[in-house]
Amino acid sequence: MLHGIHIAAAAKQPGIKAHLQGVKGNMNSIIYIVGLVVIVLFILSFLGLR
């Protein structure tokens, strides 16, 4: 019962904090993919400058 009260309290919080608690695993994978894309683009641009 305490866990349900905690979820209800988190859902009432304004902002994106309550929203991020539901999609935390998905956000981690998105951040990982975006980081890989940025690294690949940086390497390609560095090789293009040489």
Instruction: Give the chain's domain count.
Output: 1
* Whole-angstrom distance, CA of residue 20 vs CA of residue 10: 10
pLDDT confidence band for 27 (50 / 70 / 90): confident
Q: Can you give the pLDDT at residue 25?
A: 74
Q: Are 18 and 11 in contact (CB under 8 A)?
A: yes
Q: Can you give the pLDDT at residue 49?
A: 81
Q: Can you give the pLDDT at residue 2?
A: 56
Instruction: With 0.75 as the threshold, say if the pTM is over it.
Output: no
Whether 36 is in a domain gets the answer yes
Whether 30 is in a domain gets the answer yes
Q: Can you give the pLDDT at residue 44?
A: 93
* Whole-angstrom distance, CA of residue 40 vs CA of residue 8: 41
Range of the structural domain that residue 29 is part of = 22-50
Query: For residues 10 and 32, which has the higher predicted lDDT (pLDDT)?
Result: 32
